[in-house]
Amino acid sequence: MQAIVKEKRAPGLKVTTVPKPSPGPGEVLIAVRHAGVCGTDLHIADWNAWAEGRLRPPVVVGHEFAGEIVAVGGAVAELRTGQLVTAEGHIVCGHCLQCRTGNSHICKNTRIIGVDRDGAFAEYIAMPATNVLPLDGIPTTVGAVMDPMGNAFHTVLTADIPGSTVFVVGCGPIGCFAVGIARAAGAAKVIASDVNAKRLALAKQMGAHVTIDATRDDVVRAVLAETGGEGADVVCEMSGVPSALHQAFAAVRLGGRVQLLGIPNGQVPVDFASEIIFKGITVYGVIGRKMYETWNQMRRYLSAGLVDPRPVITHQFPLAKIDEALAAIRSGDAGKIILEIA
């Protein structure tokens, strides 16, 4: 079958042919229809330090996807061929303390598809049935972005949103999803900031009441002005940019909550006294999606039409044009990019 493969310990991805997988016991085989391209895929293509430390090529890349079940392995009762599905890409051990206490999303034995084992930029992928979620009418274009959208759901819905003022720092695809989710969850006001006008326009389209152009405006002052001087009840930091991180702490109200999803490069100096302790705030590190509370919430939102992620999907490419997809991400102007595989 055709697949996008990290072949060697060096920059680059290759569109090539690899053997079609077959589902083991407890697994299903999925014919991939659409797959999302993520910053992680870019890091793997570029062979950055993280990729170099983690990947063992050759590996089929890609971890966001949706498709159709075409074969069912042994001991799988709850799924059947023909179902359109997406999947959680974190394959967890089930035995560790975290897995046994409802926190599989931080299982220390997690293996990620497209990183630690073959992934979804391919015509077929074999997945453990446990990780597979029926789409129940959600289109596969949307299914293909439910992994990153799940990050946004995890970020937003682990805070108390109804009636709150929510400030989303950074309007990449996950930030834009977060804007829409916060609106749907009853935020009284959603404020979003970014340095890119196209992304701010997307955030606006997803429902932000107020957008702040960080290249032009004083972000913290703007948030305070929009909140009667209090600051935001909930801040979702989706950028990983050090200056934005400080804005997150400065813009949250006393006793508020900062959700950290964006990954800063290296260390960021923090004044714990004034930024965290004296403000009496709570900070939460967001990783992955809660398995499977987040997925359950997300499917309900999507099925009920409470949020529509499609405006965020700005580009669509065939599998063979992965390099163009990566270039679009590099441009900084893209929203979410998906590959059309079948």
- Answer yes or no: 40 catalytic: yes
Burial 224-252 (b: 16+ CB within 10 A, else e): bebbeeebbbbbbbbbbbeebbbbbbbbb
Residue 50 Cβ vs its own copies, minimum distance, rounded to whole Å? 9
Nearer to its own copies, 24 or 318 (CB): 24
Residues 206-215: contacts with CB under 8 Å, at least 24 apart = 206/176, 206/177, 206/179, 206/180, 206/311, 206/312, 207/179, 207/180, 207/182, 207/183, 208/168, 208/179, 208/183, 211/171, 214/244, 214/247
Residue 10 Cβ vs its own copies, minimum distance, rounded to whole Å? 24
DSSP line for 132-182: EEE-TT--HHHHTTHHHHHHHHHHHHTS--TT-EEEEE--SHHHHHHHHHH
Nearer to its own copies, 17 or 81 (CB): 81
Of 16, 34, 43, 101, the catalytic one is 43
Binding site for its own copies (CB under 8 A): 25, 75, 77-78, 94-95, 97-98, 100-103, 105-106, 108, 130, 157, 161-165, 184-186, 188-189, 230, 245, 253-255, 260-261, 263-264, 266-273, 276-288, 292-293, 295-298, 300-301, 303-304, 306
Residue 187 Cβ vs its own copies, minimum distance, rounded to whole Å? 8
Of 16, 34, 40, 95, the catalytic one is 40
Residue 239 Cβ vs its own copies, minimum distance, rounded to whole Å? 12
Nearer to its own copies, 34 or 211 (CB): 211
Nearer to its own copies, 14 or 54 (CB): 54
Instruction: Return the biggest CA–CA distance within the chain.
Output: 60
- Answer yes or no: 63 catalytic: no
- Active-site annotation, residues: 40, 43
